[in-house]
């Protein structure tokens, strides 16, 4: 039905599905599209690619006016050693 959505990065509403089109070529911004169940997907706007390989999660406000997505600016980890842990 849809070409491009992954296991996350989409949000279901009463009118249709908003999804990030991660299959778009290049490393730049990726389009957010909307599929209405009646018409082909339309492009809503871009999500900027942070270059971390992170696929953002999407959510939409109940009235469909606002779309929120996560952005990961960096990827790092802290390692700690615990002495005498029981």
Q: For residue range 33-53, what is the model confidence (pLDDT) as tens digits? A: 888 878 888 888 887 765 555
Predicted pLDDT at 38: 84
Strands 30-35 and 17-20: antiparallel
60 falls within a domain: yes
The whole-angstrom separation of Cα 14 and Cα 62 is: 9
Across the chain, mean pLDDT equals 76
83 falls within a domain: no
Q: In total, how many domains does the chain have?
A: 1
Query: pLDDT per residue over 23-35, tens digit each?
Result: 666 666 778 888 8
77 falls within a domain: no
Angle at 14 between CA 8 and CA 20, to 5 degrees: 30
The whole-angstrom separation of Cα 54 and Cα 58 is: 13
55 falls within a domain: yes
What is the average per-residue pLDDT within 8-14? 82
76 falls within a domain: no
**In terms of residue numbers, what domain contains 21?**
10-69
85 falls within a domain: no
**DSSP secondary structure letters along 30-53:** EEEEEE-SSS--EEEEEE---SS-
């Amino acid at each position: 039905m849809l070409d491009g959505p992954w296991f996350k990065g989409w949000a279901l509403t009463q009118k249709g599905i908003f999804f990030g089109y991660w299959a778009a070529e290049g490393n730049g911004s990726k389009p957010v599209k909307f599929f209405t169940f009646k018409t082909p997907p339309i492009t809503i706007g871009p999500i900027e690619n942070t270059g971390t390989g992170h696929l953002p999660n999407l959510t939409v406000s109940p009235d469909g006016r606002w779309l929120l997505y996560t952005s990961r600016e960096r990827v790092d980890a802290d390692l700690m050693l615990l002495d005498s842990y029981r």
